[in-house]
Structure formats: C-alpha cells, structure tokens
Chains A and B, each alone.
Chain A
Amino acid sequence: MTHKLSAARLNRLFLAGELSAVEITESVLSRIASVDPVVGAFIKVAAEHALDRARKLDARRKAGDREFGPLAGVPVAVKDNICTCGIETTCASRILKGYVPPYDATVVERLRASGAIIIGKTNMDEFAMGSSGETSAFGVTRNPWDLERIPGGSSSGSAAAVAAEEVPLSLGSDTGGSIRQPAALTGVVGLKPTYGYVSRYGLVAFASSLDQIGPFGHDVEDVARLFEVIAGPDRRDATNAGRTPPEVKFGGEPSLKGVRLGVPREYFGSGIEAGVRARVEEAIKQLEELGASVEECSLPSTEHALSAYYIIAPAEASANLARFDGVRYGYRAAGASGLLEMYGRTRAEGFGPEVKRRIMIGTYALSSGYYDAYYKKAQQVRTLVIRDFERAFGRFDALVTPTVPTTAWRLGEKLDDPLSMYLADICTIPVNLAGLPAISVPCGFADGLPVGLQLIGQHFADTQLLQLAWAYQKVTKHHEARPDVDLKGGRQQ
C-alpha cells in the first residue's frame, strides 16, 4: 500500500527510517508494473536508475546524513519533454526516439538535489501538442476513471500516473492548459505556475512564450511541496524572473475571509456541459461559505484568445521544432540522396500528423505575406487578453472558472476533429497568453467522471493560489476519491 501514500508522508517515513527509499521505489515500480499496462502513463520506466538512486539515498541516511531536501525518498515521474541526463527523452515523438540527453533540465537537477527519485518518463501528446494524450507516437494513455476515455493532454501520462496511484507526484508542462486540463479530467491537482517562476531550461520547447513546467499531485500540499522545489531563479533561462516564491504555509482552520473572487461569465458559455457547470457552481458556493466574496465579471477578449493562441503557439513551435532535422541526433530517414530530401523525409517520417499540422499553420502565419494578418494580429489580441486580466485583478484576488467545459471524452472521439479538440482548452488558454498562475483542483464528479475547478491568480501569486485551493480542498475532500484501476486493470487483462 506504500504507493498510496502522499509525498509528504513518504518523505517523513523515509527520514524517520520507517521506510527505505528502496522499499518505496520497489513498491512504486511494482504498482507501475501492475497497472501501467492498461493505463499507459509511462513511456519509459527508469527502474535501474531509480533503484540505484534509492540505494544511494538509503546509504546516506544510514551513514547519519540528515541534510535531505523536502522530497527525499519521494518517487516523481517526469513528463517526457523534460530532459533527464542519461534517460531517453522523446517528447513522445518518433523523431526523438533513442535520444538520451547529456544534461538535466534545471527542474530535474532540483528534483535530484531535493532527494526525489526520478522513476521514469511519462507519456504525452507528441511535443505537447494535443488535449487527449492520443497523439503520442508510443501509444495512448487511458483515463484511470474510465479506461475507454482519454485522460486529457498533453501531460496525459503525468496526470494519469498520479490519478492511478502509480506515483505520488509528477511534473508536466502547460502551454495552453496541458497541466490543468488533464488534472481536471483525471481528478488530481495540477498547478500551472506564473510564467518565469520555474526555469524552462531543459524543457523541450513547444511555444517558448507560453510553456511552463508545473506539478501534479493528489492534494494541494504535495503540489506545493513540488512547486517549491522546482521554482526559483535560474541564470540559464533568460525569461526566468529570478524570484523565489514565498514559503507556502498550510494549517489552522481554512478561511477565505476578505478574499475577493471574480467569476468571469465568458467561461460559462454554451460549450459547458451541465454537469460541469453544476459542480463548478457548487464549488463557488463553498468558496463563499468559506468567507470569500464572489462577484461576476467579464473578460471580453476571451472569445478571441483561442484564435490568437492557435497562431502564436504554432508560430513559435514551427521555429522550435526546426532543430529536428536529422543532422545531429534523433531520427534520420535512411537512403535520402541529398540534403533537402534528407530533411524532408526525416521530418515527414519523424513527426506525427498533429505536429505537422501545427508546423504548417505556424510557418504560414509567419510567412512574409501573412505576418501582419496573422502573427501580428494575434499578438495584439494577446495584449487585449492581458489587459482584461489586469483590469479584473484590480478588483479581485483570484478568478474562479471551470478548468475544462466537459468531462473526459471517449478515446478517438475528437481525434479526427482538431477544431473541437482545440475547444477543450478554451478555459485554460487565456491564462497562458497572460503568463498567469492557475491551479485545477478536483470539485466532484459528473456522470462518474472528475470535474476540475480552476483558480486563476495574479502574476507571482502562486502561493496565495495554493493557499486558496488548500482551503477549498480542506472542506470538500473531492481530492480523496480514487479510481479503482486494479479492478479495471484486472478486467482488461
């Protein structure tokens, strides 16, 4: 049952000597072995790497070392677009199959320094492009609550691995909702930090001005613990704000007295499912009961945010993915007769359809005749979105919205309809355009499927947001629900 323990608990038990890091790691590895064949959360389980690391931690502890970081002994899964030195990193793409980075991402360095055990690399939509976990070149990830349904994306594996109790914590990345959306659809907590709080060094870029690494966990405390480990200054990332978040303190009676919450009406539009709306409205009532003042507001540019996002993100992606050309690493098409053919075939064979679609959109939007009409216009819309939020934060401490307008859909249901898939991120995308922090916390179920509540904060208000989410979690307990993957897994096999 060790695998069911929280990160905080595992850390305490390890430090107290009641559980060895090896015991913890073996328990997690065996849990993965039993459920991951049906969930598909991992692309790579780095068992040897993890055990080796665990043995070293145990040896240190036995030798009397007490200088351990806050994640000592805690297994953490890492999304496969975050570089891990010595462990294959593929971004779930054929083009990077076999690529082993010679360096660690800053967040991975910090995980290691904090005593965490990196257990493996989680499945994802290829290059983080997708909202369902179905565009991976290495197979789909399934939603632990219903294996016929998608877990959300693109951090599908990181969310599902936590939801299925394979690991207590994981890292994902969020470009347009890729942490919050799968967190909502799998019933876990996911934080998208303020842009610039967590170093992107070592995160394989999708859209540089939007990407941010963030944590998944079952509860807000665990998520906060992981956030505190990964956030902070890093000189290797010029967009890093150089700020260390204030310590998150939990405890006492949860109260939201004096907290002003805004409810933007644009997030409750016609696309929202009745069940989702009902759960979110209940959550808002509970927040009010906790003492918060709640008021409706408007973010009028919201309706254009999606369009702007689907210009800016592919534009940046088209440049960021240009380095995958078959020259230095990863996949190279065999038998090409010249350079151009080698480039063309490598990329044609290496990238999947969604990635190609976005590269083409981005290339088109940036091309000299269309730049003003698309890219420039999209940047103007982005400015409007930012202004909307600035205005709202003049009146409110945080905004409350659904994370996703629907619950998890069936595998394959939207795969051939990219536009409807893009709509799944409509509530999360504006946050990325503005670089704000936002968290998704479980707020109940609709038709047996998890629903997520999104709380959006001001720049660098991540700590306040975590405290707000903690207060909600404390009085509702939705986060304690767990899917019965064992049974379902058994049935599948």
Chain B
Amino acid sequence: MTAKWETVIGLEVHVELSTETKVWCSCKNEFGAEPNTNVCPVCLALPGSLPVLNAQALEYAVKAGLALNCKIQRYSKFDRKNYFYPDNPSGYQISQYDLPLCYDGYVDITRKDGTSRRIRIKRIHLENDAGKLVHAGDDVAAADTSLVDFNRAGVPLIEIVTEPDIRSSEEADLFLNKLRSILKYCGVSDVKMEEGSMRCDVNVSVRPAGSAEFGVRSELKNVNSFSAVVRGIEYEQKRHISILEEGGAVEQETRSWRDAQGISVLLRSKEDAEDYRYFPEPDLPPVVLTDEDVERVRASLPELPDAIMARLMSDYGLSAYDASIIVAEKEYADWFLRAVELAGRESAKTVANWQINELNRVMNEKGLGPDQIPVTPEQLAGMLKLIEKGTITGKIAKTVFEKMVESGKDAETIVKEEGLTQVADEGELLKIAREVVAANPKVFEDWKSGKQSAAQWFVGQLMKATRGRANPQLALKLVTQALEEQAGQQ
C-alpha cells in the first residue's frame, strides 16, 4: 500500500453464545438440527408470545465483556430494533441501543515482530439472532421460493463493536483471531465462522497518512471468514484509494461482500439508510446487576491468553511470538502447560519448539483442529525423556515423533519395536567408522588435502550406516579418529 494513505478499520463482530437454550425462550440452541424443529411460539413470535431473558445468556455476555476488559453496565435495558425481513419473525430484533451491557474494553494484539497494539472495544450488547433463509434457486433473484428455518431465531448473540483502531488487514486478522481465542477460552461460544457462530461487518475508510480526521467509510456486510475479512478490507482499501487518487469522493455506503467473486457491491447508500426506530422493549424489565453479580462472573473466568502469555515469557523464557502462538488456542496452551509440567520447566523451550515446529506442521498437513491434537503431552514428555537419557538421538526423535502421530503409540514402545536406540558402544561405532573411511578413498584424499567438510560427509555416512542411531558428537570424534588412523598408516 502506498505510504500516502492510511486505512482506518472498525469491526462489528456478531458471536453466537453457546447457551443450552435460546435467549428469550427455552428452545434448544443447537446447530444443524432439522429445519424448524427447535421452535416454539416465542421464537416464532406467534401473536401473544412474550420473551423472557435467559440468565445464562446474560451471564455469558457479561463473561465475554469481562474477558475483553470491558466495564459492565449495572443498569442496562433492551430495545426494539424495527425492520421487516422474512427471517425476523417479530418484525423487530430485541437488542440494546443506548445502554449496552458492556462498554470501554480492549484487546491487545501481537504482531509477528513481537510488538503489540491495543484495539479498543466500544461496546458489547446482547441480542437475538434471526432465522435463516434458504433460497430454492441459485441465488435470491433466481429463486422461485424462499424457505425460512427458524431454528436459529432467538439464539443469543453478542455484538462486539470496536473503535476505529485497526490500521490494516493484518491487524484485523490478528484481532479477530485473538477475539475468537478469548471467547473460546471463556467457553461462551464455539466461535465457528464456518457454522456462522461468528460473523463480521467491516467498516473501512481511507485518509491521507498523518491526517487526524476520518475519511468517509463504507460498511461491508456478510463477511463470513477471516480470509474474507482480509480480502474485503484490501479490496475496499484499493477502491477508496483509487477513487481518492482520481480526485473523486467516497460515498458513505453499505456494501455486500461477495467472497466468491472477490468484490463488494452496493447494498444501500446513506440516503436510503434504514431507520430502525429503536425504543425501549416494553416486554422486558431493565437488567440490574449488582457488584456481587459481576464479581461472581469474574471469578468464573479461566486464566486468559494474555495472562498465560505473560507467564510463558517470564517463567519459561519463551519469545513473545512463540508464546502468542501457543496461547492462540486454549487447547494448545493447555497442551503446552501439561507437557512442561511433565517434562520439567527446563524443557519449556524444547517443548515449545516441538509444538510450534513439528506438531503445528503435522496438524496443518492433516488439517486437524485444536481439539484434535494427535500427540498427548504425556507422549511428548516421554519422548523428551528418551532423548535426555541418551536412549535416542535428536534426529531419531523426529522419526519417533512421526511414528507417534501415525500409530498413537508411546515413544518408548516405538523405540523398542523399531530398534531405534542410540548406538553408544564406541568400539562398534569405531569399527563402522573405519569401514566407511576405508570404503571411500577418494573422499579420504579430499580430507587429507585439507577439505574439512569431508569429515562431515563421513559422519553422514556413519549415521546412514547406523540408521541415525549414533550420537552425533561421538560420531564426529570416532570418524576423526578413523581418518587419522588411516592417514597414519599411509
């Protein structure tokens, strides 16, 4: 991006809470059920039905707010947000307007270079999700009929609104990942973008670098994956800059992101912006929380990624970047902490290396999620013990690790079954070294003429002959001894 322009981004993130039941009724909150099976008069908004606030949804929303460093409104209320749409059965959404449950929070993100930035959260409010339209055709326009599934109608949602503090698509991506991670840590949502339990509207504007005023923004709706957020931001960034550089003016618009085509299209302009006609929801009394209520929720919070990250850096000496990768998913952090507990604190860096380099690679290759870590902390610790005892070499360990992933067996079992123990018998190794040197007179001549790398080559040969089971330091010592013997004999 040209240095002339600065991008300003604000996000509105919708997250479905994983409560047992819906927010206004006792219908089950579950993903993937047969259409219109988890419905009742309340979530269908049948005439005469009334909403009743689900206490668990309220608690989860407060929990999310506390985890995101927000203040909690002691007196909040619900408001009606009026709009017509077939998946909105009451003709209004029950949301929060001027008194959101949580406000003034923040999330710190860590870049790859280890520096961090603070993204402020303006507010978090609690509301209900709408149903889902299924169009019987290729798209809305071509569909003969549209069907409505109300299973999702009434599922509790929190809307997290950031201040316009994000400056790039990379930061947006980091923020969303961090947000997802925190919400998962506190167990308030399964935050699966692919199941729509996390969705995002993106506000993008561009201004001359160094300017204090904001440019005119466009809002991207229906952005349903992290990569779409990144691509959408970059698309809008380019669109705005090219308009501005051609001397034009950006219009304030709501646009729809079409991920498959990689473009945004106009949904509505400022002139025909919707008037939601908010007013206080008369069917629900205000929500009054005491300090004790808030403290009780705070006490139920688990240790959060920022705190664990600080601990990983100060107590275990990990780099900020390594620590940020480990804490990104609760399962990774739990795995790491357990493995270190078993392997000993002095092994923390080694454990981190195995986790970040080997485990992550394997999981990426196999497409495994954080809840499908293929090696247990016990298994890794067991393998590290074998290295420490000298039973296997570091090189063999990589083989053992692969086999652990494949078979699920412990390192010890694998080593025994495959005969992978380190050859530590000097006499036997020296014999092999002598054979290797004798069998390769040409390389021996190279070594004699002063080519130092030739010795390494012989070490390699020795390793090959022992299938990697030789101790590398010992191997170099014995190869050198064999070479010198050979030279002495000549």
Contacts and interface: CB of A to CB of B under 8 A. Distances in A.
Contact of A208 (B45, B52, B86, B283): B283
Contacts of A324: 47
Interface string A348-388: 00000000000000010011100100010000000000000
A254 interface: no
A202 B48 contact: yes
B277 A209 contact: no
Interface stretch (A12-20, A95-103, A260-268, A415-423): A95-103
A66 interface: no
Residue of B48, B53, B89, B283 with most partner-chain A CB within 10 A: B48
Contacts of A328: 44, 89, 148
Ranked 10 nearest A-B pairs via Cβ: A322-B91, A208-B282, A209-B282, A366-B277, A204-B47, A202-B48, A83-B48, A204-B48, A238-B52, A323-B91
Nearest to A90: B47
B49 interface: yes
Contacts of B282: 207-209, 239, 316
A319 interface: yes
B50 interface: yes
Find the residue from B41, B44, B46, B47 having the highest chain A CB count within 10 A: B47
A99 B50 contact: no
Interface string B69-93: 0000000000010101010011110
B52 A325 contact: no
A236 interface: yes
Contact of A368 (B52, B80, B277, B285): B277
Given A239-B283, A366-B279, A367-B277, A323 B48 contact: no
A356 to B, nearest CB: 15
Contact of B84 (A205, A329, A343): A343
Given A208-B283, A239-B283, A325 B84 contact: yes
A102 B46 contact: yes
Contacts of B285: 238-239
B284 interface: yes
A397 B277 CA distance: 40
Interface in A63-106: 81-83, 89, 91, 96, 99, 101-103, 105
B275 interface: yes
A113 interface: no
Nearest to A196: B285
B51 interface: yes
Contacts of A371: 277, 279
B463 to A, nearest CB: 72
Contacts of B278: 366
Given A239-B285, A319-B80, A367 B48 contact: no
Nearest to A89: B47
Given A204-B47, A239-B285, A102 B41 contact: yes
A343 B86 CA distance: 10
B284 A99 contact: no
A205 B277 contact: no
Given A103-B41, A239-B285, A96 B91 contact: no
A254 to B, nearest CB: 38
Given A204-B47, A238-B50, 9 more contacts: A102-B41, A202-B48, A238-B284, A239-B284, A319-B277, A327-B86, A368-B277, A371-B279, A375-B279
B47 A83 contact: yes
A322 B47 contact: no
A456 interface: no
Contact of B50 (A102, A236, A343): A236
A323 B283 contact: no
Nearest to A237: B50
A197 interface: no
12 contacts: A83-B47, A102-B41, A102-B46, A207-B282, A318-B82, A319-B80, A322-B82, A327-B86, A327-B148, A366-B279, A368-B275, A371-B277
Contacts of B91: 319, 321-323, 325
A383 B80 CA distance: 21
Interface in A308-326: 315-316, 318-319, 321-325
Nearest to A209: B282
Contacts of A102: 41, 46
Given A323-B90, A327-B148, A366-B279, A238 B47 contact: no
Contacts of B49: 103, 201-202
Nearest to B85: A339
A205 B45 CA distance: 11
A376 to B, nearest CB: 9
B261 to A, nearest CB: 24
Contact of A319 (B42, B82, B275): B82
Contacts of A209: 282
Contacts of B84: 322, 325, 343
Contacts of A319: 80, 82, 91-92, 277, 279
Interface string B364-376: 0000000000000
Interface residues of A, number: 45
Contact of B48 (A82, A315, A327, A339): A82
Nearest to B25: A236
Contact of B82 (A105, A200, A327, A366): A366
Nearest to B46: A101
Contacts of A89: 47-48
Contacts of A101: 41, 46-48
Given A237-B50, A238-B52, A322-B92, A315 B279 contact: yes
A480 B53 CA distance: 46
A101 B47 CA distance: 8
Given A208-B282, A319-B80, A339 B86 contact: yes
Interface in B267-305: 275, 277-279, 282-285
Nearest to A342: B86
Given A103-B41, A368-B275, A323 B284 contact: no
Given A102-B41, A366-B82, A375-B279, A238 B48 contact: no
A103 B148 CA distance: 21
B82 A201 contact: no
A319 B80 CA distance: 8
A323 B47 contact: yes
Contacts of B275: 367-368
A200 B46 CA distance: 13
Interface in A212-240: 235-239
B41 A238 contact: no
Contacts of B279: 315-316, 319, 366, 371, 375
Nearest to B283: A208
Contacts of A318: 82, 277
Contacts of B82: 318-319, 322, 366
A158 to B, nearest CB: 17
Nearest to A210: B282
Contacts of A329: 46
Interface in A162-204: 200-204
Contacts of B86: 325, 327, 339
Interface in A325-353: 325, 327-329, 339, 343
Nearest to A199: B50
A105 B41 CA distance: 11
A203 B48 contact: yes
- Among A102, A203, A238, A375, chain B packs the most CB atoms within 10 A around the CB of A238
Interface in A274-330: 315-316, 318-319, 321-325, 327-329
Contacts of B51: 238
Contacts of A366: 82, 277-279
A201 B50 contact: yes
Contacts of B89: 323, 327-328
Nearest to B276: A368
Interface in B27-52: 41-42, 44-52
A316 B278 CA distance: 11
Looking at A207, A322, A329, A371, which has the most chain B CB atoms within 10 Å of its CB? A322
Contacts of B42: 236
